[in-house]
A and B are shown apart, each in its own frame.
Chain A
């Protein structure tokens, strides 16, 4: 598993993505499922290491909203690349809940979705070891125009430019 940052560069993954079947919670930074968080909350808070939570695509942000300050990371799963629910989930975490921690995309994803991920608030993408990193990196360069508002900037580029044109015409 390679972990890509916003700039397409692979980075060291300091997190352990913990399966529910693993009983003992290791030291350090761990990502647990929402079920595990609900079940072992007290123990997880008490252990002190950095904590992340993993949501399936059917989970809504409301289910963790009250606990967000506990999590340094929220991992959102794409069971298949066509299931686009997590794009909305990430965006809600950023815009509605003002979440500033890491949002990580995990599961089945295509390079062609990389820009969409970044534009809806994801910070990192976990891609399979056999992924062609060149394709992921290239995906960031392919489309550099956004027609609509997203989490990364206040005003869409093209519409902003028209406004500038308009101002210039008036002036």
Chain B
């Protein structure tokens, strides 16, 4: 088989379907923003801005100061990239970082070894592929996230990309909401099944259809993890499409005015919801909404149509539902068959599948991809998936529109780059934050622990026998690794200068969102992999036919797991 990177690329990336294409205005805006940031850096260097004043400015452009270096967080709006953009990111990783990048739980990409002096050129390189770091940090509306299978999933009712893009534009340098009490995260999905964890966002949106086919939105508010985890509460069951922006403006205005600013840990909207209650918040939001509802805030259907055109379906072929090539390859090759069981998602179109490209090889760093791997995935996207790539909040990549006939060849190609691990949704598919290896906030390391756990479960047949199991790990209470909603959640804490880990089970980030329960006292790093093994061993002993790990936890409760882990020492 030929090397994908050397093959002629069929569709020109500029024509790739399913991607919002910047126009003249978008490009002009980005150029202005890059220029503005260069001036801000100059004013900081001249002493005109204090570090305290400069910090929110650089954060709103994605630039953090971490333990060892600057970290640049690049926005990947709703996790959708063109192959050209992915190549642009690969080149930046090669030139200005150490030849790799880290995909995050917010569908973004982080470069961990950035020099301040390189920043203007990096921003220019990003702008050349219509990318930036705007609003990936700071107390503003952050990059909007969504389901990684948008426009592909068989269970999709409404394409949420259209509204995610409208929200991206609406929230970009919003004059009223750029200095909120705290950061503000919005996630949107377009079907019953929630793959974007909307329950743990400041605002979670489910797009749906009324009986007449019209689009409307169910709105949840006040979800969030961190030191006070809350699941979002339903604020509205139906907000009409034309009212979407007015309704969100109303929520944001109430939050901007009433959200707490006296304590950074109580400033998220979840605390406001908790303190005044969902009913009173709803009264205030509805009162504001009724006042501002009108032509100015109305989302014109013509605009929705115009944005919709960017997300037209790619030129799918008419294919039979079942692929003979695929079935034959599965019979011939058990390793390939195993990969198809874990890494494929049913597609809207007959004869196609959505493919999860695992960034979780055994012993690897969850979410890391080398520049060479990014280039390889870009080439594979061009060859097999209309030149587009998605990033999932579970820190994997997705090729959303692959012909089933092409799956054996794609799998072979992925294997050449270490990207064929058959573990999507399984125990090796661990979400982990960067932790104490990089992050200035962390109390404990998470990467080495994730690596060790994945080594313990290196046997992919064992992973498949265990079935769906989502381990989520955070190196501190800020919960970037979503540990509260992990089937097994692992939280690093600093106990008298020693890194210890608190373990929860039964958490769930989907439409059945649940916060996990603590199993028992925190344990040292060296014990964590053993504890995970014990929890899984008990599950395998006790599960009934078809039961997933979380189903067993829900049925038998935490106590048997606690006894299994701590019984000997308790």
Contact = CB atoms under 8 A, between A and B. Distances in A.
A84 B256 contact: yes
B257 interface: yes
B256 A157 contact: no
B51 interface: no
A100 interface: no
Nearest to B180: A84
B302 A85 contact: no
A115 to B, nearest CB: 7
B28 A87 contact: no
Interface stretch (A3-11, A34-42, A64-72, A146-154): A146-154
B310 to A, nearest CB: 10
B266 interface: no
B296 interface: yes
Nearest to B303: A159
B309 to A, nearest CB: 9
Contacts of B295: 154
A138 interface: yes
Interface string B23-54: 00110110011011001100100001100010
A47 interface: no
B176 A163 contact: no
Interface string B166-197: 00011111111111100000000000000000
Given A110-B49, A116-B175, A150-B175, A87 B256 contact: yes
Contacts of B171: 148
Contacts, number: 114
Q: How large is the interface on A (under 10, 10 to 19, 20 to 34, 35 or more residues)?
A: 35 or more
Contacts of B180: 84
Interface residues of B, number: 45
Contacts of B179: 81-84, 87, 113
A134 to B, nearest CB: 10
A158 B28 CA distance: 11
A144 interface: yes
Interface SS majority for chain A: helix
Contacts of A20: none
B300 interface: yes
A112 interface: yes
A22 interface: no
B315 to A, nearest CB: 21
A91 B33 CA distance: 24
A116 B40 CA distance: 16
A145 interface: yes
Given A87-B175, A112-B40, A146-B175, 12 more contacts: A85-B256, A87-B177, A92-B253, A116-B173, A117-B175, A135-B43, A142-B35, A145-B28, A145-B32, A147-B170, A148-B170, A150-B176
Q: Which 6 A-B pairs have the closest CB atoms?
A: A84-B179, A119-B175, A116-B175, A145-B29, A142-B36, A147-B169
Interface of B: 25-26, 28-29, 32-33, 35-36, 39-40, 43, 48-49, 53, 56-57, 139, 169-180, 245, 253, 256-257, 261, 291-292, 295-297, 300, 302-303, 305-307
26 contacts: A81-B53, A81-B179, A84-B139, A84-B179, A87-B256, A91-B176, A96-B291, A110-B53, A110-B57, A112-B40, A115-B175, A120-B176, A143-B29, A143-B36, A147-B170, A147-B173, A148-B170, A148-B245, A149-B296, A149-B297, A150-B175, A157-B25, A159-B303, A161-B25, A163-B303, A166-B306
